[in-house]
Amino acid sequence: MKCKVCGAELKKAGELCNNCMNKLMKEQETRNDKKVYYTFKKKFVLGYELLKRIEPIGIMILLIVLLLSVDIRFWPYTLIIGGAYIIFGIIYMFYVKASVSKGICSLYRTKLVYNEGVFRKKIVEIPYSEIDEIYYSVGNMQKLFHLGTIMVKRKTRNLFERNFYIEPVKDIEKVFGKIEELLR
């Protein structure tokens, strides 16, 4: 007699083996887990978001300076282009602010749930049993603004799903301490 789901050999005839039963019960436990123990959010810091995009900003400034220095007849066009770029930049930063502020991570007894998305909601649910490793890092730019990144390595063969990260997070040591406490 074999298990109908995983094909494991069964001693007695039945619907599911112990292996599948345990898995099912664990999944049910995770699904029914509704109590949030700890929540942290992504933090919008204007200086950090600008510094992260220093390359396109720098290129644009260089281009404007170049245009201004070539010929005085280019000045009106340059001002229009520069003005449009600044307006676009401000609108884009408002979008970044909205999207960063929507990033919320909740820790339950059995799982981590991450929510984000301004127009389209994205929810990532990771049961603790699927976490291979969790740690944090602080990059050079992040250091300037007291920010950091929470990294989650999952037990999966899918390369696109293996690494999950939440950034930028304020008070990273404190937040990570709470996570460690819950996952212990």
Binding residues for Zn ion, rule: CB under 5 A, are 3, 5-6, 8, 17, 19-20
157: phi > 0 → left, psi -120 to 50 → alpha, else beta; which? alpha
**Short-list 146, 153, 149, CA closest to 132:** 153
Least distance (Å) between residue 4 CB and Zn ion: 7
Q: Which is nearer to Zn ion, 1 or 8 (CB)?
A: 8
Q: Which is nearer to Zn ion, 9 or 71 (CB)?
A: 9
Strands 147-154 and 163-170: antiparallel
CA pair distance 90, 155, nearest whole angstrom: 40
Least distance (Å) between residue 130 CB and Zn ion: 19
Q: Which is nearer to Zn ion, 16 or 63 (CB)?
A: 16
Least distance (Å) between residue 21 CB and Zn ion: 8
**Short-list 105, 93, 100, CA closest to 44:** 100
